[in-house]
């Protein structure tokens, strides 16, 4: 009996940490998130001259997402400063701002209606940039759709960054070589308006840090033409140390399996769940 209880307790624990509620079955009693728009159309992306990573973060939201509620501050989808997936200790903004490998070079508030904050980080040892967008919690469907559209190669925005005496210009969304989604798995709660379509022949890598992302994102991600570098098979806490570990391996041009192993080790280090449990949680490829 004890051997059966341990894995069950582990699944319940990580589910609560992540705020996932798998009992809702897509029938939300709370307000439904707004349907995503696709104002940028289907224009193919412009290639970048420098490597770019684009991270789409759906802020944790007690009111507008089908989750087990967390504290009011962590689950305020309109306040990035205290949000679980952004301003908290292991949120994307806080974790990468304190990283020895990344420097915050740009911060923009409300770059568009669905996004509360955009950060641009530059790697300290490489000419690599990471764009991270914090979507309002109620805009989780837009965050999900924008991530998938970026994976499909949709054109993004132009970003200009001062680097020393020169100005570096690059593009977001489909121009990024690596795209990532971080947050609650909204596909448990709502359907996409349509399936995304691949717009070019580029093979982008994708990271999806959300509960059971391999099951729910498989069909739409396959449709984008992107390749899954890292996703999950069960409930989990989508915290930034996983993303950081995976990016480190990707930058070193390690194999997809080596990247997965980095995520496994990072998750066990912070969650103390055991390497076996962490190993079963993360997957790569189809």
**What is the pLDDT, as a whole number, of residue 22?**
54
User: Could you give the CA distance from residue 110 to residue 116 in angstroms, rounded to a whole number?
Assistant: 4
User: Could you give the CA distance from residue 74 to residue 80 in angstroms, rounded to a whole number?
Assistant: 9
What are residue 171's phi and psi, to 5 degrees? -120, 155
**What is the pLDDT, as a whole number, of residue 44?**
85
User: Could you give the CA distance from residue 285 to residue 228 in angstroms, rounded to a whole number?
Assistant: 5
| 45 three-state secondary structure | coil
User: Could you give the CA distance from residue 263 to residue 247 in angstroms, rounded to a whole number?
Assistant: 9
Residue 227 has pLDDT above 90, yes or no: yes
Q: What is the pTM of this model?
A: 0.90
Q: Exposed, middle or buried: residue 233 (CB in 10 Å: 0-12, 13-18, 19+)? A: middle
Please, what sign has the CA dihedral across residues 173, 161, 248, 89? negative
Tell me the chain's radius of gyration from C-alpha atoms: 18
Task: Say if CB 19 and CB 184 are below 8 A apart.
Answer: yes
- Which helix (H) or strand (E) segment holds residue 216: the answer is helix 213-224
CA-based angle 156:162:163, to the nearest 5? 110
**What is the pLDDT, as a whole number, of residue 49?**
93
Mean residue pLDDT of the chain comes to 89
Mean pLDDT of 31-56: 77
């Amino acid at each position: 009996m004890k051997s059966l209880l341990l894995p069950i307790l582990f699944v319940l624990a990580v589910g609560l940490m992540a705020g996932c509620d798998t009992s809702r079955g897509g029938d939300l009693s709370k307000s439904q998130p707004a349907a995503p728009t696709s104002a940028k159309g289907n224009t193919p992306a412009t290639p970048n001259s420098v490597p770019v990573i684009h991270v789409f973060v759906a802020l944790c939201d007690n009111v507008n997402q089908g989750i087990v509620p967390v504290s009011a501050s962590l689950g305020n989808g309109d306040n990035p400063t205290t949000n679980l997936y952004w301003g908290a200790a292991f949120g994307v903004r806080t974790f990468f701002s304190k990283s020895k490998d990344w420097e915050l070079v740009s911060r923009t508030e409300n770059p568009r209606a669905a996004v509360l904050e955009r950060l641009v980080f530059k790697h300290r040892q490489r000419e690599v940039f990471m764009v991270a967008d914090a979507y309002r919690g109620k805009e989780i469907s837009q965050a999900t759709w924008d991530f998938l559209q970026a994976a499909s190669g949709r054109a993004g925005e132009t970003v200009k960054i001062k680097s020393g005496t020169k100005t570096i210009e690059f593009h977001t969304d489909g121009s990024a070589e690596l795209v990532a989604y971080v947050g609650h798995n909204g596909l448990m709660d709502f359907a996409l308006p349509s399936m995304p379509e691949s717009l070019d022949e580029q093979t982008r890598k994708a990271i999806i840090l959300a509960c059971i992302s391999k099951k729910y994102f498989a069909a739409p991600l396959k449709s984008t033409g992107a390749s899954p570098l890292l996703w999950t098979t069960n409930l989990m806490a989508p915290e930034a140390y996983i993303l950081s570990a995976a990016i480190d391996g990707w930058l070193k041009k390690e194999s997809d399996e080596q990247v997965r192993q980095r995520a496994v080790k990072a998750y066990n280090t912070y969650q103390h769940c055991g390497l076996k449990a962490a190993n079963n949680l993360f997957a790569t490829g189809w």
